[in-house]
Amino acid sequence: MCSSDLTALLMSPIVPRLIDMHCHLDLYPDHPALIEECDRHQVATLAVTTTPKAWRRNIELASRSSHVRVALGLHPQVVAERKSEIALWEALLPEATYVGEVGLDAGPRFYRSFEDQKAVFERVLCACAEAGGKILTIHSVRAVGQVLGQLESRLPPDRGRAVMHWFTGSKSEARRAVEHGCYFSINAQMLAQARHRETVASLPLDRLLTETDGPFTQADGRPSRPSDVAQMLPDLARLRGVTTETLQRTLVENLRGLVTPPIAGVRPSTGRGGDGRILTDRG
């Protein structure tokens, strides 16, 4: 695997303690300091981008980080102005293991570009399916059914893996996503709403990850930072009936399952020696 892959981190002696599967590091004024913070607090962080033009700078800044990896994105909310950048996105895809933020947004502010969004998302999924082995973090505001429909027809589970970011679909849509092999990155805001709590409670424990979606969410009255995912763990653990420690270990194991290439006939998370050692090495 290339060094930009989280697999290397999970196989190294430095084990992540926390996971922020979706954070816009490049939208903070102190982007380099934030990367340093992720390493210091051992937060495995996926730095999502909104335009492929941000790829080079993000890669450069994260190049020496042990815990930050970068995702190649073209956000549905900027498709109205940036749809032509899909060509650059496609050109950069061979360099990327992670893809996002991508997806669909049918909210009133972005509905005008919905047809263009669908065309861009279709190209994203087709390119990922053709390349194979990509891991996507997906936006699906008011468009969960359409996102799942596109995933089902364009990205078979053996050609790429999808993480539903800030999932707000129904329980039946959640089941449909689970059947397609999707993971879910949960944030504190989702746990604050009864309807979404119920959905989170219904998801398979081994498909859960955590995220902040910073700086678009708040913690302690300021934009969330990746290490703030720690604040939601006791609540999420209670909701799922496990201890915080068990949840924390499970999340790392889930990340391992997500990023480890499947070995035929063996569950990804148990497919290699040393897994237990890595998890028990935690300080």
Q: What minimum distance in Å lies between the beta carbon of 213 and Zn ion?
A: 5
Q: What minimum distance in Å lies between the beta carbon of 276 and Zn ion?
A: 34
Q: Which is nearer to Zn ion, 15 or 74 (CB)?
A: 74
Q: According to CB under 5 A, which one of 37, 173, 213, 228 is a site residue for Zn ion?
A: 213
- List the beta bridge partners of residue 141: 105
Q: Which is nearer to Zn ion, 26 or 101 (CB)?
A: 101
C-beta of residue 203 within 8 angstroms of C-beta of residue 221: no
Q: Which is nearer to Zn ion, 26 or 173 (CB)?
A: 26
In whole angstroms, give the CA distance from residue 164 to residue 145.
12
Q: Which is nearer to Zn ion, 10 or 68 (CB)?
A: 68
Both tokens of 133, joined, read 């082995």
Q: Which is nearer to Zn ion, 37 or 213 (CB)?
A: 213
Q: What minimum distance in Å lies between the beta carbon of 256 and Zn ion?
A: 23
Site string for Zn ion, 46-85 (x = CB under 5 A): ----------------------------------------
Q: Which is nearer to Zn ion, 26 or 213 (CB)?
A: 213
Residues 6+ apart with CB under 8 A from 279: 15, 249, 252, 253
Q: What minimum distance in Å lies between the beta carbon of 145 and Zn ion?
A: 20
Site string for Zn ion, 93-132 (x = CB under 5 A): --------x-------------------------------
Sign of CA dihedral 248, 251, 255, 260: positive
Which of 194, 174, 192 shows the shortest CA–CA distance to 183? 174
Q: What minimum distance in Å lies between the beta carbon of 69 and Zn ion?
A: 15
Whether a cis peptide bond, with omega within 30° of 0, leads into 101 is yes
Asked if 26 touches Zn ion (CB under 5 A), the answer is no
Q: What minimum distance in Å lies between the beta carbon of 214 and Zn ion?
A: 9
Size of the site for Zn ion (CB under 5 A): 2
Which of 96, 113, 116, 107 shows the shortest CA–CA distance to 139? 107
Q: What minimum distance in Å lies between the beta carbon of 78 and Zn ion?
A: 11
Q: Which is nearer to Zn ion, 7 or 77 (CB)?
A: 77
Sign of CA dihedral 227, 228, 234, 238: negative
Residue 273, Cβ density class (10 Å: 0-12 exposed, 13-18 middle, ≥19 buried): exposed
CA 58 to chain centroid: 16
List of residues contacting Zn ion (CB under 5 A): 101, 213
